[in-house]
């Protein structure tokens, strides 16, 4: 088979895949063709060479470029104006100290806020869509120590946290892609709750840094991470239905 200048879309597409190392499984014939043809076909050889040359030059382009002026002053001015118009949630309910009753109160508040916010969205939608399937890691095993500072829970904490982080990352990526589908009021509730949960997690992380053996803190931390994932999962399911 000789190469000519006539369009060969079936080979062109496969050629791109082959060059990208992305040729579909089962395309052995085309793989063999592309691997051997350049030796017999000067035109294809030239085409492949040019193709690879351009690709390597594109890949050599610098990824980082500096703007000609410092953009920070204008960014700072804009975020200052934005914060003055709608100050972020801080202080007030959360201060520098950690207290478990506040976490409990916040959890109740979140349950109501997220529930109301998402239900408003659910009422507008058709419910017959399969939910997203995201596996959660196994929950922390029960504490066995008398003083609450020993047992398998702390050992499982890091592993559970890693597993949760993987899921959280996937859900966050998805909700970013889907958030435009959410009604504005639902979106506001979702992200407000995520911010609040993040603030709580930051506080608990600070407390854990000071008391790394505190099993209760570890459990509370995981509970908030799970709550965060539940909110993200609900929002994703809702966005998928819209």
Selected binder of another protein within 46, 95, 169, 185 (CB under 8 A)? 169
Selected binder of another protein within 104, 166, 211, 213 (CB under 8 A)? 166
Show the binding pattern over residues 175-214: x = contacts another protein (CB under 8 A), - = does not: -xxx------------x--xxx-xx--x--x---------
Residue 230 binds another protein (CB under 8 A): no
- Residue tagged 């294809």 (tokens): 44
Selected binder of another protein within 5, 28, 64, 123 (CB under 8 A)? 64
- CA 2, CA 103: separation in Å to the nearest integer? 73
Residue 23 binds another protein (CB under 8 A): no
Contact window for another protein (CB under 8 A) among 38-46, 131-139, 147-155, 216-224: 131-139
Contact window for another protein (CB under 8 A) among 10-18, 26-34, 98-106, 216-224: 10-18
Nearer to another protein, 97 or 135 (CB): 135
Residue 76 binds another protein (CB under 8 A): yes
Q: Which residues bind another protein (CB under 8 A)?
A: 12-13, 16-17, 20, 22, 50-51, 54-55, 57-69, 71-72, 74-76, 78-79, 82, 88, 90, 132-135, 159, 162-163, 165-170, 172-174, 176-178, 191, 194-196, 198-199, 202, 205, 240
């Amino acid at each position: 088979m000789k190469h000519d200048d006539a369009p060969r879309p079936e080979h062109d597409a496969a050629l791109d895949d082959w060059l990208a190392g992305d040729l579909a499984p089962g395309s052995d014939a085309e793989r063999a063709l592309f691997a051997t043809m350049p030796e017999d076909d000067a035109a294809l050889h030239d085409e492949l060479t040019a193709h690879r040359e351009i690709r390597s030059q594109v890949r050599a382009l610098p990824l980082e470029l500096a703007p000609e002026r410092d953009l920070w002053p204008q960014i700072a001015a804009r975020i200052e104006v934005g914060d003055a118009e709608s100050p972020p949630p801080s202080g007030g309910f959360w201060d520098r100290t950690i207290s478990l009753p506040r976490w409990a109160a916040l959890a109740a508040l979140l349950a109501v806020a997220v529930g109301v916010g998402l239900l408003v969205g659910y009422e507008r939608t058709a419910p017959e869509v399969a939910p997203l399937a995201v596996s959660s890691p196994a929950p922390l095993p029960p504490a066995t120590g008398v003083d609450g500072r020993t047992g398998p829970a702390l050992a499982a904490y890091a592993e559970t946290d890693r597993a949760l982080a993987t899921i959280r990352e996937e859900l966050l990526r998805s909700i970013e892609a889907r958030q435009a589908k959410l009604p504005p009021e639902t979106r506001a509730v979702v992200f407000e709750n995520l911010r609040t949960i993040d603030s709580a997690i930051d506080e608990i992380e600070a407390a854990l840094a000071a008391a790394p053996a505190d099993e209760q803190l570890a459990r509370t931390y995981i509970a908030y991470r799970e709550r965060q994932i539940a909110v993200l999962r609900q929002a994703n399911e809702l966005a998928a239905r819209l």
